[in-house]
Chain A
Amino acid sequence: MDATRTDSPILQIKDLRTFFDTRDGVVRAVNGVSLELYPGETLCIVGESGCGKSVTAMTILGLLPKPPARIESGEILFQGTDLLKLDEQEMRAIRGNDISMIFQEPMTSLNPVLTIGRQISEVISLHQGVSNRVARDRAVEMLDRVRVPDPHQRVNEYPHQLSGGMRQRAMIAMALSCNPKILIADEPSTALDVTIQAQILDLMRELRDDFGTSIILITHDLGVVAEMGERVLVMYAGGKVEEASVEELFHYPLHPYSEGLMTSIPRLNESLAGDGDRVRLQEIPGMVPSLIEQIPGCLFAPRCSYASEKCNSESPQLAEHRKQHYAACWESSNFAHRLESPTP
């Protein structure tokens, strides 16, 4: 990855805050997130449930019901237009056309009473204004493109007749049918079996290279990040805590939470290295904080082994600690020093 980019981002989010008004109080699901997405790149957003990664994606596409959701502040610039200022009709012209999304559970995001072909051709005829016939031919072509076997026959089938992997392929075919500039994939392979996940990730990589689509890949799986991403953004409790190239993040994590995530997961093939004894995993003590309570200072401080006085009172800002490598942590410089040699 180039350290200095000369091209301009295709999507730019500035200081986005998406809040939810609930009976228990205001949930600050996304609390000041900024990001840039460049043409043709894969940006991963990684974090645990409730960190705000999906809400960020849903906000981009204007898919959140308001109320309870509320955009407190921020801008989402797509080719110079602020998506947050568009009305529903204008947004509809962008959704599925310029920016499309695939979801974790393809069964719940496909219409169960319409055939796969009908659902894909609907998107095509809506956005491209072509006849039903042409749209249908294109649907078959897309299914073939995502390697659904017998696309001529499958196009007439209903979602329940397809397996999980096939449904996800149909979703991808639909999402890519209008050749979008941006594809947002929210945990696209999480609900799938390991061998099927490998197929889907392989397919996404191939399609990105062929169509030049920019991808925002949301996942909790660091393995998927390492295999798919170029840049990665780590979120914790509604905020961005670290941003770097994938290579940088895995070898010089600068936020204790990112480091914790990496050392707390069992590694494949670890049994080959050791003497057969089971090693203890590093634990991150405690749990994710409530997004309702206003906590002063760093939200990770209560679980952080490096936390100082300052961490408990002042909220750290994102700063560039290494080239193109940002972290929101008061202790990053001490922390980074410790990691002078890359983690094995």
Chain B
Amino acid sequence: MTAVAAAGPENILSVRDAKKHFDVREGLLAKKVGNVYAVDGVSFDIARGETLGLVGESGCGKSTVGRLVLRLLDLTAGEVHLKGVNISGLTRSEVLPYRREMQMVFQDPYSSLNPKLSAGSLVSEPLRNFKQGSSAEIDQRVQMLFERVGFKREAMERYPHEFSGGQRQRLGIARALAVNPSLIVADEPVSALDVSVQAQVINLLIDLQEEFNLALLFISHDLAVVEHVSHRIAVMYVGKLVEITDTKTLFKNPLHPYTEALLSAVPVPDPRAIKEKIILKGDVASPINPPSGCRFHTRCPHVMDRCRSEDPVLQEKEAGHRVACHLHEPG
């Protein structure tokens, strides 16, 4: 993990050794009794126009990473750079101008849209907040956005409850795009949707990303969806990245035993596919008391002595392919 200087000009987002620990409190006086090591040293970059998929199981810290990137949570340690500016060091008011550059698409389109605002106001609200143009200009942009995500003009007058799940998600996307951001964090944007409308939203996200040249951090537990939308994929396990590489390489040549098991565990919609499944024993480790050494050692089929005591470092195995595993250490 090199220092901050690695944040090259083409990278929209650079995350360096980001950590987020939450307190575990107990008792009447809420005495601090421990830490949740939700995110424990995560580094990655996203270039302009690139989608990085972040996968992992529930509780692995992937959503926390998304919130740290957007400064919805403050880092415990580490740095987040947006277009070369270290936004983790800024105060709340200093960070405001940078909020326009990064927007979020949420999982649940039912709870993330204000039910009392019409669809038109929902999309124009961020534009007004950031004072992006005169009211005529704002109207024009909102109309353009509505058309772009596939709504008629009349839809602007309607309220969120009048939209279906898929339509609300498109509304959420229009709202995120309104202020012309460079980075979008999409946290499980299709997992609350029905299968038949997922495709509509996935296609729209991909199209808009290419059209607006967005950097996209796509967080999901669904490997098939992540594979479909991402240029590169990062795999997370209990607060740490275990592997990161381009999509094709990850599926063709997964190096980390956890990645391998994860890929083999996905049910494939083809009855003729014969698959050797790697069925992991036990449960996902807890981020409150993470195992010593490699956090995966309690479930790993290839566990060695040193895995129990030595935490493997994420390092480059081949060009652009980084993995944190003692099996794949050079030399």
Contact = CB atoms under 8 A, between A and B. Distances in A.
Interface of A: 48-49, 163, 165-166, 193-199, 201-202, 220-227, 246-247, 250-251, 260-262, 264-272, 276, 278, 280-285, 287-288
A50 B251 CA distance: 34
A221 B227 contact: no
B206 A223 contact: no
A282 B224 CA distance: 15
Contacts of A266: 202, 224-225, 227-229
Given A198-B265, A220-B194, A287-B167, 6 more contacts: A196-B284, A199-B280, A202-B277, A222-B195, A227-B268, A261-B196
Contact of B268 (A193, A223, A283): A223
B319 interface: no
Contact of B277 (A48, A198, A280, A287): A198
Contact of B248 (A49, A262, A272): A272
A288 to B, nearest CB: 7
A201 B265 CA distance: 10
A165 B284 CA distance: 10
Contacts of B308: none
Interface of B: 57-58, 164, 166-167, 194-200, 202-203, 206, 221, 223-225, 227-229, 247-248, 251-252, 261-273, 277, 279-280, 283-284
B248 A271 contact: yes
A333 B18 CA distance: 58
A280 B201 CA distance: 11
Given A48-B194, A48-B196, A265-B224, A278 B229 contact: yes
Contacts of B279: 195, 198-199, 202
A271 B267 contact: no
A240 B95 CA distance: 54
The B contact surface, by secondary structure, is: helix
Contacts, number: 137
A202 B265 CA distance: 10
Contacts of A261: 195-196
A284 B199 contact: yes
A269 B271 CA distance: 15
Q: Which of B200, B267, B273 gathers the greatest number of chain A CB atoms within 10 Å?
A: B267
Nearest to A266: B228
Contacts of A285: 200
B271 A246 contact: yes
Given A266-B228, A269-B227, A223 B266 contact: yes
Contacts of B195: 48, 220, 222, 261, 264-265
9 contacts: A48-B195, A197-B265, A224-B267, A226-B273, A250-B270, A250-B272, A271-B251, A278-B229, A281-B199
A269 B226 CA distance: 11
Q: Which of A201, A223, A251, A269 gathers the greatest number of chain B CB atoms within 10 Å?
A: A269
Given A220-B195, A272-B251, A225 B269 contact: yes
A265 B197 CA distance: 10
Contacts of A287: 164, 166-167, 194, 196-197
Nearest to B51: A278
A287 B266 CA distance: 27
Nearest to A219: B267
Nearest to A201: B267
A195 B268 contact: no
B248 A268 contact: no
Given A202-B279, A223-B268, A195 B262 contact: yes
Nearest to A263: B199
Q: Which of A221, A222, A268 gathers the greatest number of chain B CB atoms within 10 Å?
A: A268
Contacts of A221: 267
A276 B198 CA distance: 22
A276 to B, nearest CB: 6
Contacts of A193: 57-58, 221, 284
B265 A268 contact: no
A193 to B, nearest CB: 4
Contact of B269 (A202, A250, A278, A280): A250
A219 to B, nearest CB: 9
A265 B202 CA distance: 10
Nearest to B250: A271
A194 B266 contact: yes
Contact of A268 (B196, B200, B266, B283): B266
Contact of B202 (A220, A269, A281): A281
